[in-house]
């Protein structure tokens, strides 16, 4: 350890603590016995896995629908991911490969939708779901999230697609390929990394969403886990240990997926932002 590096170590220590403390706290509480969730110190005195057992066995009335809520979260996330990919790839192919007229305008409209904060669209979206008769159905959440995710998908795909030489499409066409053959055999294979990034982005966006889910879903057994977690707060003496244990189980899959696809995610995002 060189003394000159001391400021560096100091910054490192602060960054470490800043990052880890809330997560450490999450684990300390989750490992405390339910009745001792009042943190008495930095280390749990009698660490136990009983909260995880309660959640996974759905043995507490607050987590009795845990598995069906997990199922809803998964269903919504997977559907949003697949539909966003399908809509995004189709639109992107039309804009950048077929080069349809007005493609730029469509891109700009998508970008505009992407930039408007989602929270401002939530209430109108919730009201319109009522008129469509979709409230309390997971499809309301799926459509809402697709509407929010596909503009970003189109924007990122547009940037990736411009890097693929157009000569490839032309060569395929000279060989007699129909438009959709170009789509399946030239475009999609080359766009695969971007598709992974967008699919992951949409999956996580839907899994993590709170506001829209909490507005649009009502029946307890059909909530997503995110909303179920928020609902713990409705109780004056919320069982925090149980809440934190559920929160950890809920957070593990998306965090793991994020880390697994980190390289794709980061490059997709930064490619858009760094160019200025």
Q: Which of 202, 244, 264, 268 binds other proteins (CB under 8 A)?
A: 244
User: Residue 237 has what DSSP assignment?
Assistant: T
Least distance between other proteins and beta carbon 238 (Å): 8
Q: Is residue 97 within 8 Å of 187, Cβ to Cβ?
A: yes
Distances (CA, A) of 217 to 67, 225, 239, 240: 16, 11, 23, 23
Using N-to-C axis directions, what is the helix angle for 240-260 and 6-30, rounded to 10°? 130
Least distance between other proteins and beta carbon 223 (Å): 12
Q: Which of 6, 17, 23, 188 binds other proteins (CB under 8 A)?
A: 23
Q: Which of 17, 49, 53, 178 binds other proteins (CB under 8 A)?
A: 178
The residues, ordered by sequence, that sit 6+ positions from 265 with a Cβ below 8 Å of its Cβ are 197, 200, 201, 258
Closer Cβ to other proteins, 71 or 230, answer by number? 230
Q: Which of residues 34-53 bind other proteins (CB under 8 A)?
A: 37-42
Locate 62 and state its tokens: 């607050």
By CB under 8 A, is residue 17 in contact with other proteins? no
Distances (CA, A) of 51 to 26, 56, 97, 224, 232: 13, 9, 53, 20, 14
By CB under 8 A, is residue 59 in contact with other proteins? no
Q: Which of residues 107-166 bind other proteins (CB under 8 A)?
A: 107-113, 115-128, 131-132, 143-144, 146-147, 150, 154, 158-159, 162
Ramachandran region, residue 154 (left: φ > 0; alpha: ψ -120 to 50; beta: rest): alpha
Q: Is residue 195 within 8 Å of 92, Cβ to Cβ?
A: no
Sign, CA dihedral 139-213-219-245, equals positive
By CB under 8 A, is residue 208 in contact with other proteins? yes
Closer Cβ to other proteins, 166 or 210, answer by number? 210
Q: Which of residues 69-108 bind other proteins (CB under 8 A)?
A: 86-88, 90-91, 93-95, 98, 100, 104, 106-108
Q: Which of residues 181-200 bind other proteins (CB under 8 A)?
A: 183
Q: Which of 70, 81, 248, 264 binds other proteins (CB under 8 A)?
A: 248
Distances (CA, A) of 123 to 129, 131, 144, 182: 10, 13, 11, 41
Least distance between other proteins and beta carbon 80 (Å): 11
Closer Cβ to other proteins, 1 or 192, answer by number? 1
By CB under 8 A, is residue 176 in contact with other proteins? no
Number of H helices, E strands in the chain: 13, 0
By CB under 8 A, is residue 226 in contact with other proteins? yes
Ramachandran region, residue 195 (left: φ > 0; alpha: ψ -120 to 50; beta: rest): alpha
Which residue stretch of 54-62, 74-82, 191-199, 229-237 sits at the interface with other proteins (rule: CB under 8 A)? 229-237
Which residue stretch of 5-13, 47-55, 62-70, 189-197 sits at the interface with other proteins (rule: CB under 8 A)? 5-13
Closer Cβ to other proteins, 6 or 23, answer by number? 23
């Amino acid at each position: 350890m060189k003394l000159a590096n001391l400021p560096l170590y100091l910054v490192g220590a602060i960054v470490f603590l800043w990052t880890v403390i809330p997560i450490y706290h999450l684990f300390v509480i989750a490992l405390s016995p339910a009745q001792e969730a009042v943190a008495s110190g930095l280390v749990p005195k009698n660490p136990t896995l009983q909260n995880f057992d309660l959640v996974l066995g759905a043995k507490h009335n607050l987590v009795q629908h845990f598995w069906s809520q997990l199922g809803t979260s998964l269903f919504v996330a997977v559907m949003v991911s697949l539909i966003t990919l399908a809509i995004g790839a189709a639109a992107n192919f039309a804009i950048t490969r077929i080069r349809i007229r007005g493609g730029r305008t469509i891109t700009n409209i998508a970008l505009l939708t992407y930039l408007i904060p989602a929270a401002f669209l939530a209430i109108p979206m919730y009201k319109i779901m009522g008129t469509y008769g979709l409230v309390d159905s997971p499809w309301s959440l799926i459509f809402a999230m697709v509407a929010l995710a596909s503009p970003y998908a189109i924007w990122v795909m547009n940037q990736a697609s411009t890097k693929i030489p157009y000569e490839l499409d032309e060569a395929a066409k000279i060989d007699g390929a129909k438009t959709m053959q170009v789509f399946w055999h030239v475009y999609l294979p080359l766009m695969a990394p971007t598709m992974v990034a967008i699919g992951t982005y949409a999956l996580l966006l839907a899994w993590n969403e709170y506001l829209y889910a909490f507005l649009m879903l009502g029946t307890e057994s059909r909530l997503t886990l995110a909303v179920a977690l928020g609902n713990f707060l409705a109780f004056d003496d919320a069982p925090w240990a149980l809440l934190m244990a559920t929160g950890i189980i809920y957070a593990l899959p998306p965090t793991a997926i994020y880390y697994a696809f980190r390289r794709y995610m980061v490059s997709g995002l930064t490619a858009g932002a760094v160019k200025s």
